Amino acid sequence: MKGVMVKLTIEEKTYSCQPGETVLDALLREHVNISYACKKGTCHSCMVRSADTLPPEAAQAGLKNTLKKQNHFLACLCRPEQDMIIKLPDQSEFYTEGTVVVNEMLNRNTLLLVIAFEDAFEFSAGQFVNLQRADGLTRSYSIANTPQESNTLEFHIRRLTGGRFSEWLHDEITVGDTIAVSEPRGHCFYLPERSEQGLLLVGTGTGLAPLAGILTDALAQGHSGPIYLFHGSREFDDLYRIDELRQLARQHQNFHYIPCLSGKHVPEGFTHGRVNEVALASFTDLKDWRVFLCGHPEMVNQMKKMTFLKGASMKDIYADAFFVTPV
Amino acid sequence: MTDTQNNQEATMSKTLYERIGGEAAVNAAVELFYRKVLNDYRINRFFDDSDMDKQIAKQKAFFTMAFGGPNNYTGRDMRNAHAPLVKMGLDNSHFDAVMEHLGATLVELKVPADLIAEAAAIAESARNDVLGK
Ligand SMILES: Cc1cc2nc3c(=O)[nH]c(=O)nc-3n(C[C@H](O)[C@H](O)[C@H](O)COP(=O)(O)OP(=O)(O)OC[C@H]3O[C@@H](n4cnc5c(N)ncnc54)[C@H](O)[C@@H]3O)c2cc1C
Ligand code: HEM
């Protein structure tokens, strides 16, 4: 069997991987605590990330394109051809201090927070980070802009009554404060391929944050296929960026913005109904569409299934469910 | 040895999984099949949709197995995997429905009839384990 002995490095420790051995087998032999199940590339339990080199192609078979781009790979399928630095999924994170430079309300309960960094912060629009308070309390928030020369990240934070982190951000954080921000995470983002493909973006509440980033990115990269954004909430006062999005729709012929309200009072120019139902009713067939779903976990899960049944392929369905940590 | 014999020999020594097209065939079949299953009111209640990606991975396991491909499942694993469903009332009629969708999916993919029959026979052989009999 061909192959060479290589070094695997995880958090400063190094392990040897024998010729022909998979990364998973090597790590298990070395008693590294790594999750796995099927050992044949099906279950994706053993997905890890290469921090330095491109993983072998065979080790990325069946992964979503956005995961491939971030050098994720399946340890059970990886017979390394060179030394690798590997990150396990649950490995402790690296935080960077950022400074709050904008803190203003987007609507009655959504805060626009802009955090600036000294050095470039690399991410793909649509990813999320973990914000951490000095006492260790940590929550995930989606990045709403595309990479900027000013090294700033934009967030939309909804106030959850009694919510520990969101109320703290709303009530106590001001311009000039510093906050710890993790590395970007998640694989719900735009890749500039198949630019003629239709894009369906569906979000509730601050689910607009990642979608806004994805939309800006897609338009900037010259996406030529139709782009539909359905943004929903119960009441008019909980939507935001309405004028900006309408303006964008006037500027880009292929972009369509459909604000939806599920409550009783629906002003002219808005569609009545739940955003997921409105979006589904607008399409007879989603074959070959790329779908992005963000916000309420139930909406996201329901729509994953429904868009799949309407013909979208699972590998083209990207989602971020905004799970709230139960106490 | 003639060429025909050679070919035959080669065909005989290849597994169904290889002849049907390996992982590419599994990938093509999974989504077609899963749409049929989720649309079938007789059986869709057995398929929890809380995590579509995981469910797709399990359907992949199903096809890899039905094609006689590489997998580590034993009869006992099959019993365990389906035991909660048997508690929910899984019986022969549900099994038959799954067999129906398996066949229809492979017909749709234009898999030759003899290979479909082989796959069906492999799936059929799991009936007792799946139904916990
Ligand atoms: C990937 C990801 C991305 C996210 N992106 C964003 C984002 O861009 N913007 C954003 O605002 N949030 C986002 N969230 C949600 C965010 O991480 C926090 O969960 C949210 O801000 C609440 O945190 P908290 O500390 O204020 O509430 P907690 O102190 O954690 O309180 C939550 C409590 O409220 C209860 N609860 C649950 N749902 C509700 C509800 N609808 N109303 C009232 N109470 C409820 C829970 O049971 C729990 O007890 C994201 C979450 C994930 C996982
Ligand atoms: C035809 C023979 C069948 C075979 C070969 C088969 C094979 C499999 C395999 C390999 C798994 C994955 C197990 C795991 O890794 O956890 C699985 C899971 C599953 N099967 Fe089957 N299966 C068969 C019939 C059925 C039938 C008739 C039903 C229901 C109508 C069914 C419903 C399920 C469900 C719901 C799961 C997922 C269980 C979970 O979420 O853990 N299967 N099956």
Residue pLDDT, tens place only, B8-57: 545 556 889 888 888 888 888 999 999 999 999 999 999 876 678 888 88
pLDDT of residue A1: 46
Contacts of A116 (CB under 8 A, 6+ apart): A98, A99, A100, A101, A150, A151, A152
Which residues does chain B have within 8 Å of residue A63's beta carbon, measured at their own beta carbons? none
Q: Tell me the fold of A199-321.
A: Rossmann fold (3.40.50)
pLDDT of residue A132: 92
**How many A from CA of A164 to the centre of ligand 1?**
9
CATH of A95-182, one of 2.40.30.10, 3.90.550.10, 1.20.1260.10, 2.40.50.140: 2.40.30.10
pLDDT in tens, B89-99: 999 999 999 99
CATH of A6-87, one of 3.40.190.10, 3.10.20.30, 3.50.50.60, 3.30.1330.40: 3.10.20.30
ipTM score of complex: 0.78
Domain boundaries, chain A: 6-87, 95-182, 199-321
The token pair that represents A3 in the structure block:
């192959």
pLDDT of residue A326: 62
CATH of B3-130, one of 3.30.360.10, 3.30.70.360, 1.20.1600.10, 1.10.490.10: 1.10.490.10
pLDDT of residue B1: 41
Q: Which amino acid is at B123?
A: A
pTM metric for this prediction: 0.83
pLDDT of residue A14: 94
| Burial of residue A312 (number of CB atoms within 10 Å: 0-12, 13-18, 19+) | buried
pLDDT of residue B9: 47
Consecutive sets of 10 residues in chain A, 327 residues long: mean pLDDT of each? Answer: 82 92 94 81 82 92 85 93 88 83 97 95 92 90 94 97 96 96 90 95 98 97 97 96 97 98 96 97 96 95 93 92 76
Order of strands, edge to edge, in the sheet holding A290-295? A271-272, A255-261, A227-233, A199-204, A290-295, A317-321
Q: Is B130 in the pocket of ligand 2 (CB under 6 A)?
A: yes
Which residues does chain B have within 8 Å of residue A309's beta carbon, measured at their own beta carbons? 35, 38-39
